[in-house]
């Protein structure tokens, strides 16, 4: 009778493209890292539910990859 919406159904309902979801995830992860020094588990759980496991995990990987290449230090 009642079922949870899939990630794709939620994204369509919110009119968010995959590219926008990627950017929103990255921005949230970067903000969390700057504020707390690392990404909180609660934030990642939220992002995985809202945008999907694959999108959230890839965004985290990209941010960590940039961080390891001194991306943030070169931007300032």
Distance CA 7, CA 42 (A): 18
Q: Is the pTM of this model over 0.85?
A: no
Least Cα distance to 29 among 51, 50, 60, 58 occurs for: 60
Average pLDDT across the chain, whole number: 82
State the average pLDDT over residues 30-38: 92
**Lookup result for tokens 């079922």:** 3
């Amino acid at each position: 009778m009642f079922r949870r919406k899939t990630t794709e159904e939620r994204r369509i309902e919110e009119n968010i493209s995959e590219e926008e979801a990627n950017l929103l995830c990255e921005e949230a992860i970067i903000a969390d890292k700057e504020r707390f020094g690392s990404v909180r588990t609660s934030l990642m759980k939220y992002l995985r539910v809202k945008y999907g496991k694959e999108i959230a995990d890839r965004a985290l990987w990209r941010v960590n990859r940039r961080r390891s290449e001194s991306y943030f230090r070169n931007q300032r």
